[in-house]
Amino acid sequence: MTHQFHPTVLREYDIRGIIGETLGADDARAIGRSFGTLLRRAGGKLVAVGYDGRVSSPMLEHALIEGLTSAGCDVRRVGMGPTPMLYYAEASAEEVDGGIQITGSHNPANYNGFKMVFQGRPFFGADIQTIGTMSAAGDWDDGTGTVDTRDINAEYVERLLAPLAAIAPEKLANIKIGWDAGNGAAGPALERLVAKLPGEHHLLYTEVDGNFPNHHPDPTVEENLVDLRALVASKGLDFGIAFDGDGDRIGAIDGEGRIIWGDQLLMIYAEDLLNRQPGVTIIADVKASRALFDHVSKLGGKPVMWKTGHSLIKSKMRETGSPLAGEMSGHVFFADEYYGYDDALYAGVRLISSSVQLGKSVTQLRGEMPAMLNTPEMRFQVDESRKFAAIDEVKQRLSGTDADVNDTDGVRVTTDDGWWLLRASNTQDVLVARAESFTAEGLDRLMGQIDEQLAASGLERGPQAAH
């Protein structure tokens, strides 16, 4: 028996597709058999399995477990919850050898997919391609695994509270926070969490609904924060926190309704952490603001610019021993007192903790940040066969000049005006561009340089692609 996947579903960081079109139960079964076979051959046995709130998730869970058990793995079902709860199930129990979360992340409701952990490390890139080659060859071991179910929601939420344990209760008594779960999988855990938090809390859309009736659960898109902004304003709250569909990415606004982007959140976390652990390495992706890297340096930390992608960042953290990392997209990774994976609920608790430890409100911390002018992440369609080649051409042209180029992930060019970035997406047939400057004129000049490079490769910054 063999299985062929649709060519679009085996991505760089995870597996993702459209239910009924490119992804279904047979795919889930083959993923289970391949992952299970790999784990058994590596000496592992027990896999934790969780799923998000999408309508198709229980069906995929059933088929995935069939595949895992038929490869001889035992399965621990942790049920519906955010992706970080599955990561917690894998990281906190010594006997668990791997983990798979069924989730469509921040994609539209008709998508779903899989995020995986293999013996404590991210499972991505070549690992995911191996799933495809094993399935195509029917290279599977046979066995009979067992299945048990364990509710870890309460235990997981208890662990989220740890950053506040050493803070005097009176310092937390007056906090007022708004939370938006976006009808995603984090809702029930969030309800349980805020019931245990001091202060005043107002919640939006905690009922899990895979059709996302109120707004799309992607907190990096400004229009998805409209309801949270209104809540913070009407109730006079200190700040607001929003989650994506599977609870591994955080979005935030301050008390004045200003967005706190992923790199700006990292500035707050870094300031707090560097007070306690001077000189540590802090990692951010190539899309992050220069203000963040400058801030970390000024505070005596070691800033490292790295490739975009949660799996790539986690691997770099392990390599460098970094206790904190993050991405523009709202993935934040804490390894100082936590497990090193991206958990937006934990990041929310850490924002409370950082604000109190630094003795400043979140609004004050946001207000102290340098006023940089930057573009949103611009994504535009480029043929799959051209996207990496075009970036190589840009690198080639710039190599003969005195341009200040960082080619960690694409091309990031620093000039007197600021910086601009062009990189190829690992998950879609798009190029991603971003620029940041101190002035509007500088931003125009930087955008001109991007357009110039694109034109030289026969491309243009045409219609924006969907995220």
What is the set of active-site residues? 105
Q: How far is the C-alpha of 356 from the C-alpha of 108, rounded, in Å?
A: 36
CA 265 from centre of chain = 14
Q: Which residues, 6 or more positions from 357, have their beta carbon under 8 angstroms from its beta carbon? A: 167, 272, 275
What residues form DSSP beta bridges with 342? 333
What residues form DSSP beta bridges with 99? 48, 117
Q: How far is the C-alpha of 389 from the C-alpha of 383, rounded, in Å?
A: 10
Q: Which residue, 177, 167, 172, 226, is CA-closest to 198? A: 172
Q: Which residues, 6 or more positions from 436, have their beta carbon under 8 angstroms from its beta carbon? A: 289, 290, 372, 373, 374, 375, 418, 419, 420, 443, 446
Q: How far is the C-alpha of 389 from the C-alpha of 144, rounded, in Å?
A: 46
Beta-strand runs (E) in 205-334:
239-243, 250-254, 259-260, 281-285, 302-306, 324-326, 332-334
Q: Which residue, 427, 426, 423, is CA-closest to 453? A: 423
- Distances in whole angstroms, Cα of residue 359 to Cα of each of 165, 268, 355: 17, 12, 6
Which amino acid type is present at position 191? E
For the beta carbon of residue 380, count every other beta carbon within 10 angstroms: 16
What the block records as the tokens of 168 is 């005097």
Q: Output DSSP code: residue 10.
A: B
- Distances in whole angstroms, Cα of residue 404 to Cα of each of 257, 395, 398, 407: 36, 11, 9, 10
For β-strands 250-254 and 259-260, DSSP reports them as antiparallel
Q: How far is the C-alpha of 9 from the C-alpha of 20, rounded, in Å?
A: 13
- Distances in whole angstroms, Cα of residue 442 to Cα of each of 288, 416, 436, 451: 18, 9, 8, 14
- Taking each helix axis as running N to C, give the angle between helix 290-298 and helix 262-276, from 0 to 180 degrees, rounded to the nearest 10: 10
For the beta carbon of residue 367, count every other beta carbon within 10 angstroms: 14
Taking only Cα atoms into account, the Rg of the chain, rounded to an integer number of angstroms, comes to 22
